[in-house]
């Protein structure tokens, strides 16, 4: 079992400890030291990604009773986007709590029980709160959630139903993030926040699934970016696949941020070596609006070393992409998730090749809810239906 953390920037190594995984030299999050795992060790006929890829995880054993069926999400071709068979969507909204966060939470509860921690917690804008609460309930752990003021009612309800201690906190989100680790150490609560190394281990499994589902590595992977944990986890997954000889090259990672709060994309465009904290503007994409991302410098380094790309997408572009996915593909996702399609539209001329768009969360969990399109909505009595349908039915087939 790999229990060694490594700083991707300076190479410093240390042992894993909850609430204490930032490199003292670089101040960036450490991850579990990448290792090569032969593909023949991947298990067949399992319903859980954790069981299937357990040889890749820093766990003594995987307890299947703590699983909610996370992972092994669908990978489907998009019929209205790009050349046939060239653009695929990984439906992370099919996870139990409707977002990719379940992959990380599933690993966190396994390790928390293994180490004897009685409680887990997180700082969240919504999706990670409900995911953490669900998995804490499943594993019989106490749960403390610190959510950002302005978190959507839907996200609050989807977390509160599991009966965690839920506190909405007003103030600087970065300060809250750092304060949570102090609270965790004093209260014996394992705060598994966005860039926690165990969360990265869960996120990397999506990369392994994509390789198996496609039969090859894609050329490009588009993913929304906030704190940076999801980007890092996917990158690490592809890196370990390459170390194992399972793929020849790491896909070009395309990180997508909200234009009103895009500190990493801005630093990338300006050629900076470090991310500068910004004063964010208003955006409907709350879950990718982190003005002080804890893994920002690390993502910049990886992007430049591996020809990755970072860009910002406006709210209007997100909404247009969200509408396209719903009308033409039958997929209702958060605007933040749809940002990857908007990014694909911007880059497809130069970034031609096999592409995977990571659709991170289900649309009903968004802070912003689109107004219903009532152009095809009618009311009628039963006896009036034939005449009405003769009049309007041809129109309803138009998109």
Per-residue pLDDT, 97:
95
pLDDT of residue 13 exceeding 80: yes
Cβ neighbours of 252 (radius 10 Å) = 19
Cβ neighbours of 118 (radius 10 Å) = 13
The mean pLDDT value for 239-248 works out to 94
pLDDT of residue 398 exceeding 70: no
The mean pLDDT value for 377-383 works out to 73
Confidence band for 375, pLDDT divided at 50, 70 and 90 = low
Tell if the pTM clears 0.85, that is, is over it: yes
The mean pLDDT value for 11-33 works out to 95
pLDDT of residue 320 exceeding 50: yes
The mean pLDDT value for 93-103 works out to 97
Confidence band for 129, pLDDT divided at 50, 70 and 90 = very high
CA distance 378 to 327: 19
Per-residue pLDDT, 371:
62
The yes-or-no answer to whether 4-65+99-191 and 70-93+197-365 have a common fold is yes
For 34-80, what is each residue's pLDDT tens digit? 988 766 677 776 668 899 999 999 999 999 999 999 999 999 999 99
For 328-374, what is each residue's pLDDT tens digit? 999 999 999 999 999 999 999 999 899 999 999 999 877 665 566 65
* Tokens (6 digits) for 319: 């909404």
Query: Per residue, what are the HEC states of the chain?
Result: CCCEEECCCCCCEEECCCCCCECCCCCCECEECCCCCCHHHCCCCCCCHHHHCHHHCCCCCCCHHHCCCCCCCCEEECCCCCCCCCEEEEEHHHCCCCECHHHHHHHHHHHHHHHCCCEEEEEECCHHHHHHHHHHHHHCCEEEEEEECCCCHHHHHHHHCCCCEEEEECCCHHHHHHHHHHHHHHHCEEECCCCCHHHHHHHHHHHHHHHHHHCCCCCEEEEECCCCHHHHHHHHHHHHHHHCCCCCCCCEEEEEEECCECHHHHHHHCCCCCCCCCCCCCCCCHHHCCCCCCCHHHHHHHHHHCCCEEEEECHHHHHHHHHHHHHHHCCCECHHHHHHHHHHHHHCCCCCCCEEEEECEEHHHCCCCCCCCCCCCCCCCHHHHHHHHHHHHHHHCCC
For 258-305, what is each residue's pLDDT tens digit? 999 999 999 999 999 899 999 999 999 988 999 999 999 999 999 999
For 139-150, what is each residue's pLDDT tens digit? 999 999 998 887
pLDDT of residue 2 exceeding 60: yes
Confidence band for 324, pLDDT divided at 50, 70 and 90 = very high
Confidence band for 165, pLDDT divided at 50, 70 and 90 = very high
For 204-219, what is each residue's pLDDT tens digit? 999 999 999 999 999 9
The mean pLDDT value for 222-241 works out to 97
Cβ neighbours of 178 (radius 10 Å) = 14
Mean of the per-residue pLDDT values of the chain: 92
More confident position, 252 or 1: 252
Q: Where are the domains of the chain?
A: 4-65+99-191, 70-93+197-365
Per-residue pLDDT, 385:
74
Phi-psi sector, 129: left (phi>0), alpha (psi -120 to 50), beta: alpha
pLDDT of residue 396 exceeding 50: no
Confidence band for 377, pLDDT divided at 50, 70 and 90 = low
Topology classification of domain 4-65+99-191: Rossmann fold (3.40.50)
Assess contact for 119 and 91: CB atoms under 8 A.
Answer: no
Per-residue pLDDT, 373:
64
DSSP class of 277: P
Percent of the chain at pLDDT above 70?
Answer: 93
Cβ neighbours of 57 (radius 10 Å) = 24
Phi-psi sector, 246: left (phi>0), alpha (psi -120 to 50), beta: alpha
Per-residue pLDDT, 397:
47
Cβ neighbours of 332 (radius 10 Å) = 17
Q: Which of the listed CATH numbers 3.40.50.1100, 3.20.20.10, 3.60.21.10, 3.20.20.70 matches domain 70-93+197-365?
A: 3.40.50.1100
Per-residue pLDDT, 392:
77
| Sign of the dihedral defined by the CA atoms of residues 183, 186, 191, 197, in that order | positive
CA distance 155 to 75: 25
């Amino acid at each position: 079992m790999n229990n060694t953390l490594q700083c991707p920037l300076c190479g410093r190594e240390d042992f894993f400890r909850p609430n204490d995984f930032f490199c003292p030299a670089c101040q960036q999050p450490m991850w579990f030291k990448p290792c090569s795992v032969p593909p023949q060790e991947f298990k067949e006929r399992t319903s859980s990604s954790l069981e299937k890829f357990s040889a890749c995880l820093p766990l003594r054993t995987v307890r299947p009773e703590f699983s909610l069926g996370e992972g092994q999400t669908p990978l489907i071709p998009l019929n209205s986007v790009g050349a046939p068979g060239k653009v695929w969507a990984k439906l992370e909204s099919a996870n139990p709590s409707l977002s990719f966060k379940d992959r990380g939470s599933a690993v966190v509860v396994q390790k928390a029980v293994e180490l004897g921690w009685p409680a887990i917690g997180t700082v969240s804008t919504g999706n990670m709160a409900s995911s953490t609460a669900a998995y804490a309930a499943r594993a019989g752990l106490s749960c403390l959630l610190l959510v950002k003021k302005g978190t959507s009612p839907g996200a609050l309800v989807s977390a509160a139903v599991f009966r965690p201690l839920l506190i909405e906190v007003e103030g600087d989100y970065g300060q809250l993030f750092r304060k949570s680790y102090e609270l965790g150490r004093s209260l014996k609560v394992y705060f598994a926040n966005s860039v926690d190394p165990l969360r990265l281990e869960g996120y990397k499994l999506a990369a392994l699934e994509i390789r198996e589902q496609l039969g090859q590595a894609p050329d490009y992977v588009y993913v929304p970016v906030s704190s940076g944990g999801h980007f890092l986890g996917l990158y690490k997954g592809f890196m370990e696949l390459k170390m194992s000889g399972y793929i020849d090259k790491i896909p070009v990672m395309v990180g997508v941020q909200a234009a009103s709060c895009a500190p990493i994309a801005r630093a990338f465009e300006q050629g900076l070596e470090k991310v500068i904290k910004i004063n964010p503007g208003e955006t409907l994409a709350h879950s990718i609006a982190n003005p002080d991302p804890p893994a920002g410098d690390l993502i910049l380094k990886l992007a430049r070393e591996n020809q990755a790309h970072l860009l910002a997408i406006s709210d209007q572009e997100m909404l247009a992409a969200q509408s396209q996915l719903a009308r033409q593909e039958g997929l209702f996702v958060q605007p933040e998730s749809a940002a990857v399609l908007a990014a694909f539209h911007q880059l497809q001329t130069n970034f031609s090749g096999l592409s995977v768009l990571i659709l991170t969360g289900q649309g009903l969990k968004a802070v912003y809810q689109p107004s219903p399109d009532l152009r095809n909505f009618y009311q009628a009595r039963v006896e009036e239906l034939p005449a009405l349908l003769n009049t309007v039915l041809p129109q309803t087939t138009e998109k």
